[in-house]
């Protein structure tokens, strides 16, 4: 099943963080969530564990104010038990129930298996495992489609290879710095799956540029990567475009990607994202980017191979 996505999907991992129910801070978060639903982007992406459940709770309040259309535009994810790490069929069903209760909906267009690190692939796929729970939800009509969402490309390749899932979401592995997810995405596309590429800015350096303390994939960017990004910044400057625009369009222009997920924390960030998406990138930028050669990515997924 291929979902009717838009080029951008809005991520809400920080929405509602540290807000108390009924507080002015929660009200501000709900008002922002209403802005997300008022836009043209097809889906808002959340998860059971984002902001300790507050992301879904805030989205639920916004859905109640906004109406039925908003209720069809939220993608979520099931997560392991936060106390025990359990991630089996029963936990998947419980996680789904928690999510729909917070959102105030009965069903979801897409539900991902999220970060299945507390169980092995074989455990997840076994009878009574997490994937059985997802399949049960799809077959019952409570979700339209099921996906798998995590980072390590070798692990994700195994899940995609099962042919069970309708969608895949990988972060920090398909950017101008690291394209290790490309074979996984290619396999997913051949299978008719919907492909979500998350974190096109590498969770840091491709938004901020090379500078002290810059991060890539939640790790400090090493000096070699800082130097490579500095050279890319020179290419961008020579053609009058911003580094974040090039980083975003690397994903938007790829035939492997159906929708690019970008985390949004404020109305100003949303406006900036739309501006970046509308920025034309000269063809020469891509030629000169290729000429830089592969970036020294700090991502090491060898333990999942």
Q: Quick one: what percent of the chain has pLDDT higher than 90?
A: 94
CB atoms within 10 A of CB 47: 23
The token pair at 167 is 């969608």
pLDDT at 1 (0 to 100): 61
Q: Which pTM value belongs to this model? A: 0.96
Residues of the chain under the 70 pLDDT cut:
1-2
Helix extents (H) in the chain: 24-38, 54-66, 68-71, 89-103, 121-125, 130-139, 153-161, 182-190, 205-208, 223-238, 243-252, 267-277, 283-291
According to CATH, the superfamily of the domain at 8-204+243-283 is NADP-dependent oxidoreductase domain (3.20.20.100)
pLDDT at 153 (0 to 100): 97
Q: For 125-145, what is each residue's pLDDT tens digit? A: 999 999 999 999 999 999 999
**For residue 107, what are the β-bridge partners?**
none
> Would you list the domain boundaries of the chain?
8-204+243-283
**For residue 112, what are the β-bridge partners?**
77, 147
Under 8 Å between Cβ of 164 and 208:
no
């Amino acid at each position: 099943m291929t979902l009717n996505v838009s080029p951008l999907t809005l991520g809400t991992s920080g929405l509602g963080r540290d807000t108390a129910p009924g507080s002015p801070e929660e009200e501000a978060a709900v008002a922002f969530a209403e802005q997300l639903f008022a836009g043209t982007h097809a889906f808002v992406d959340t998860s059971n564990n984002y902001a300790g459940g507050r992301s879904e709770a805030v989205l639920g309040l916004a859905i109640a104010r906004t109406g039925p259309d908003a209720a069809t535009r939220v993608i979520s994810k099931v997560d392991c038990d936060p106390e025990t790490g359990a991630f089996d069929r029963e936990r998947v069903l419980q996680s789904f129930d928690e999510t729909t209760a917070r959102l105030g909906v009965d069903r979801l267009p897409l539900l991902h298996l999220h970060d299945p690190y507390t169980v092995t692939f074989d455990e997840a796929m076994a009878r009574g495992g997490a994937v059985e729970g997802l399949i049960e939800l799809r077959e019952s009509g409570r979700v339209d489609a099921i996906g798998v969402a995590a980072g390590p490309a070798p692990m994700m390749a195994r899940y995609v290879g099962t042919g069970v899932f309708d969608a895949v979401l990988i972060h920090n592995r398909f950017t101008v710095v690291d394209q290790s997810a490309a074979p996984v995405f290619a396999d997913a596309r051949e299978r008719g799956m919907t492909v979500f590429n998350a974190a096109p800015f590498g969770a840091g350096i491709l938004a901020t540029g090379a500078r002290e303390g810059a991060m890539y994939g939640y790790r400090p960017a090493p000096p070699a990567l800082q130097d490579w990004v500095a050279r890319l910044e020179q290419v961008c400057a020579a053609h009058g475009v911003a580094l974040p625009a090039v980083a975003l369009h690397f994903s938007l222009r790829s035939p492997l990607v159906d929708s690019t997920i970008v985390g949004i924390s404020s109305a100003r960030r949303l406006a900036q994202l739309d501006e970046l998406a509308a920025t034309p990138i000269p063809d020469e930028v891509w030629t000169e980017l290729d000429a830089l050669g592969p970036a020294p990515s700090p991502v090491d997924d060898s333990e999942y191979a």
